[in-house]
Structure 1
Amino acid sequence: MEIGFEKGDYQAVITTAALGAGVDFPASQVIFFDLAMGKDWLTAAEFVQYCGRAGRLGKHDRGKVILLIIPGNKFHSGQTETEDEVAIKLLSGKIEPVEIPVDFEKIEEQILANISTLNECEIEDIENMLLSSKIANLDTKTIVTNLKKDNFVKTKEKEHVIITELGLATSVSFLTPRKAKTVIKKLKTNEDPLIIAISIEPFDAVYLSSKVHEELVRSFRFQVSSKLFSGSVLDLMIRKGSTRRLPNWIFNVFAKWAQTFFTCNCPERPYCEHGILNFSKYIVDLRVAGNNPSQISNIIARNFELQVYPGDIFHWLDSLVHHIEGVTRIAKVLQLAETYIKLVELKRKIERPTRGLKNVQKTTNTTHTKQKR
């Protein structure tokens, strides 16, 4: 394609985010069909990166950038700015200086793990461990203070740190303190324990069947991602007028996805988390009903024209069991007896499901006891 375009065999090339990732051929101009990437507007850095593909030294006198903007346009109700407002901002905006971010969430997890290993220690011991891990220049005392505030550790004599039951439950469950705080908040508001565990790591390895994918590419004449929860597929599900190009059978497939998985009333739907949570819960429902990963894969393919690999299902269910164990430990520390019992039973059902039950064909529409309205 690159050679053909450079020779003039093709007048134009339609591309996706690959344009900014390094498509390496000269073009006299770049045309933006819209300024959204998935559910988000382009950033100034992304916009400048894409614009840089217009014009090439030694090939063109100048590069042209054209924006096909619809004034007042929004792609979903969760967007606060219109497309023309974003265009003005991008054209006049400046790229923020590049900074290498420090992953404080991982550092907090590492510090908590160090304290958990020793049971109790001095702050100086923690600093030495971080130095040996080539992590330095951090305000360890502030991090320990934050961990203490959230009851993951307690201190004695200022710099003597002791792990708490909650801190130990978090560390042995391989949860970051931030994720543990989210779990605690949801447990205290009586959210569905299964959804709490799923939220830690939802199942996202969901692919369109080859039949659906080929039809989308043929109908829209551009490359569409094969992943269900990708921005390009979700865009097609909601973009006005897009379904007019589709045959009835694929329109019905879209409708079935929407009615089964994308059932919330969020302004960001289908880009919100509820679709992937519903899908993940559907897998669990099938497992609890006695289906093995291969059977689950076949049911999903037959009902929804979606492809999920048995190996991915197996590994995800295995991880989910570990996450359920982590939530169970935290529920025990919080003395939530009823939730604790539910989680223990849920783990048993996933590991040793009841045999002989009918396959689950429908999942419940509600995955959150409290969804955004």
Structure 2
Amino acid sequence: MAITDKIYVKNHRQLASQLETSIPKGAFSGATLDLLFTGEGLSKLDSTTRDRVLDFAEDFLDCDCDQNPYCGCPERKFVAYLLELRAQGLGPDAIVDVMTDDYMVYAYTGDVRSFLDTAIRRIESVEALADVEGDAEMAEKARQAKRALSG
């Protein structure tokens, strides 16, 4: 299961009440993406919530794909965001705090920890394959990425 399947809308019930509609708890579920992409009902939200929802939409739903928001770009952008937070030295608890502050979404710390561990293992695989293939440049890039994620 992808990490984006484990990202949830904070204050989900309160948000649904303000919008006067039911929405899934998952931030990247189809109905939630539809709501954010079309912007329907956002005027019903309080200003703080609306600002964070709009920030999320601008940062993750902005692409030129024909199938936007179902093109995979929002999920890839969010994964890049998580990896960047880790590269800045934040641990799983801090990453959850920042994503909650930035976008009103959250994940369980264990899920973030598992995602980061899996990312490191994949980078190690890339590094090993690059070494086998004699691609010193790619192996070095993988080593640098692994150091950034390992803290």
Q: Same-fold call, TM > 0.5?
A: yes
Among 203, 220, 227, the residue aligned to 2:26: 227
Tell me the CA shift for residue 249 of structure 1: 2.8
Change in Cα spacing, 1:316 to 1:244, as seen in structure 2 (3 Å) is same
Q: Structure 2 matches for 1:1-373, cutoff 5 A?
A: 202-204=2-4, 205-210=6-11, 213-239=12-38, 241-351=40-150, 353=151
Matched position secondary structure for 1:223: coil
Equivalent-residue separation in structure 1 for 2:38 and 2:62 (angstroms): 17
For the aligned residue pairs, the C-alpha RMSD in angstroms reads 2.0
Contact 2:19 2:42 in 1 (8 A): no
Q: Deviations over 1:4-52 (max 9, x none)?
A: xxxxxxxxxxxxxxxxxxxxxxxxxxxxxxxxxxxxxxxxxxxxxxxxx
Higher relative contact order at CA 8 Å, sep ≥6: structure 1 or structure 2?
2
Q: CA deviation at 1:203?
A: 2.1
Contact persistence 2:8–2:105 (CA under 8 A) = yes
Alpha-carbon displacement from aligned partner over 1:163-196 (angstroms, at most 9, x marks no partner) = xxxxxxxxxxxxxxxxxxxxxxxxxxxxxxxxxx
Higher strand share: 1
- Unmatched 5+ stretches in structure 1: 1-200, 354-373
Structure 1 residue 330 displacement after superposition: 2.9
Q: Percent identity?
A: 26
Any gaps of 5 or more consecutive residues in structure 2?
Answer: none
Change over 3 Å in CA distance of 1:241–1:304 after alignment to 2: closer
Q: Which amino acid aligns with 1:209?
A: K
Mapped contact 2:86–2:149 kept (Cα < 8 A): yes
Structure with more of its chain in helix, by fraction: 2
Once residues 230 and 222 of structure 1 are traced to their aligned partners in structure 2, the CA distance between those partners, rounded to angstroms, is 15
Give how far 1:240 is off: 5.8
Please give the alpha-carbon distance, in whole angstroms, between the structure 1 residues aligned to 2:111 and 2:63.
26
Tell me the SS of whatever aligns to 1:319. helix
The alignment of Structure 1 onto Structure 2 pairs a total of residues equal to 150
Contact 2:37–2:57 (CA<8 Å) still a contact in 1?
Answer: no
Over 3 Å counting, the alpha-carbon distance change for 1:282 and 1:240 in structure 2 is closer
Q: Which of 1 and 2 has greater Rg?
A: 1
Amino acid aligned to 1:203: I
Taking the aligned partners of 2:32 and 2:105, their CA distance within structure 1 comes to 13
Distance of aligned partners of 1:338 and 1:261 in 2 relative to their CA distance in 1, 3 Å threshold: same
CA deviations over 1:85-133 (Å, ceiling 9, x no partner): xxxxxxxxxxxxxxxxxxxxxxxxxxxxxxxxxxxxxxxxxxxxxxxxx
Q: Secondary structure at the match of 2:3?
A: coil
Partners in 2 of 1:261 and 1:317 — Cα distance? 20
Aligned residue for 1:370? Answer: none
Determine helix, strand or coil for the equivalent of 1:291.
Answer: coil
